[in-house]
Structure 1
Amino acid sequence: MSRASSVVILVILAGVGLGATYLVQHASAPRIAAEQRQIDSRNLLDLLPTDSYDNQPLEQPLTLENSALANSTLLGGYRATKAGQPSAVLLRSQTLGYAGAIDLLIAIDANGKLLGVKTLKQSETPGLGARIADWPNTWLQVFAGKSRTEPADNGWALKKDQGQFDQIAGATITSRAVINAIHDALRYFDEHRQQLIGSSPP
């Protein structure tokens, strides 16, 4: 076999291989995307009681346009509904911790009560502030059931700052940042309830 023939055969085989690879990737892309959506859904929606919604909240994003708040920034959010009625919102919040940005997911029910908080991203000190990313998180669970007015504004602080909350041991700055971001989100919910869930305060 001549060298030219060998080159032609190699080129043909390479083309067939590339084509087959493309077809396999193209065929599996929808399945991969669906699996990624399921992973995202589990990661983001495990703050909501499973019987509290019957829609796909991640397919009902809220337009918040990076709202800058007193101590944090809202990056976006999602609305959960049941039988067509809003049951909760999930707000993505970013605040500045000790070592950098902390991204939180904050779930609030239709009455303005906090359902839960989860850390999505952080770069805090390992063994100290980084414990904010543990899941489930005992420290973050303390905030469930709180609202903008329960406790009152001055209660939304660390005990060492005359507030109501303990800190993560050795992580004062991280703890302050997260408390302030949660309070910001609850305040935003109260002030934008009509936009978020389409109803006025009860």
Structure 2
Amino acid sequence: MSPHIRNTAWLLLVAGLAVATTLAWRQWTRPTIIEAEQQLHARQFLAVLPEQTYDNQPLNTPLPLPGEQPLHSRITAAYRATLGTLPTAVVMVSQVQGYNGPIRLTIAISADGRLIGTQVIEQQESPGLGARISDPQLNWLGQFSNRRLDDRWALKRDQGDFDQLAGATVTSRAVIAAQQEALVYFDQHRTLLLGSPAHE
């Protein structure tokens, strides 16, 4: 066998071993990577819920969505948080039409019907205007924490309780409507969503 053929065969062998090793490594580490990605997704998704308020894995068991959908928004998923055996909250995924496109929110509601918090998980609003709904420094969504269904769910300019996002009236009204409708939906289906008699 000539040196040229021998060198080529050696290179092919080394390349084949490198590819096989890489594929085996990827296969071996893939479950760990997938699990880490799922945990990151869960942390981001459930960031609206204080960690000390639940000890289950809410995202592992989506709830059936009972009844008709709200008028202006759409509830696309719901998950129950529990602490021990007691339900503590329901996290809903809501989609509402904003100024430039759909806005997706996670809305956490406590077992007694109080809005724990809301976060944006997807939006296409105008940069510097409606897109600031998810700006943590501005924290516009913070004004809705601890509010209940019997609050006045409208902008102050519409005789409601809430400040609008400057320059983004349509976005502000859409997000307010989505949160109010999530509270109404929770109130209407409280027993089914919590999996137990209503907590007053």
Give TM-score scaled by structure 2 length: 0.89
Match of 1:161 among 158, 162, 173: 158
Aligned length, in residue pairs: 197
Q: Percent of aligned positions with the same letter in both sequences?
A: 44
- What residue number does 2:53 align with? 52
Q: 1:137 to 1:52 in 2, by over 3 A?
A: farther
Matches within 5 A, 1:1-202: 1=2, 8-64=9-65, 68-135=69-136, 138-148=139-149, 150-151=150-151, 155-201=152-198, 202=200
CA RMSD for the aligned pairs? Answer: 2.0
Distance 1:190 1:3 in 2: 79
Q: Is the 8 A contact 2:98 2:125 kept in 1?
A: yes
Aligned to 1:81, the other structure's residue is in SS state: strand
- 2: CA distance between counterparts of 1:136 and 1:43? 17
Taking structure 1 as reference, are residues 181 and 82 closer, same or farther at Cα in structure 2, changes over 3 Å only?
same
Q: CA deviation at 1:188?
A: 0.6
The 1:6/1:74 distance shift into structure 2, 3 A limit, reads: farther
Output the CA distance in 2 between the equivalents of 1:59 and 1:129: 32
Unaligned runs of 5+ in 2: none
Residue 4 (structure 1) shift: 5.9
Distance, in Å, in 1 between the alignment partners of 2:19 and 2:108 is: 46
* Cα distance in 1 for residues equivalent to 2:12 and 2:192: 59
The alignment's TM-score, normalised by the length of structure 1, stands at 0.88
Deviations 1:59-83 (A, max 9, x none): 2322339x73211111212211011
Deviation at 1:3, TM superposition (A): 6.4
Structure 1 counterpart of 2:117, which letter? G
8 A contact 1:129–1:170 mirrored in 2: yes
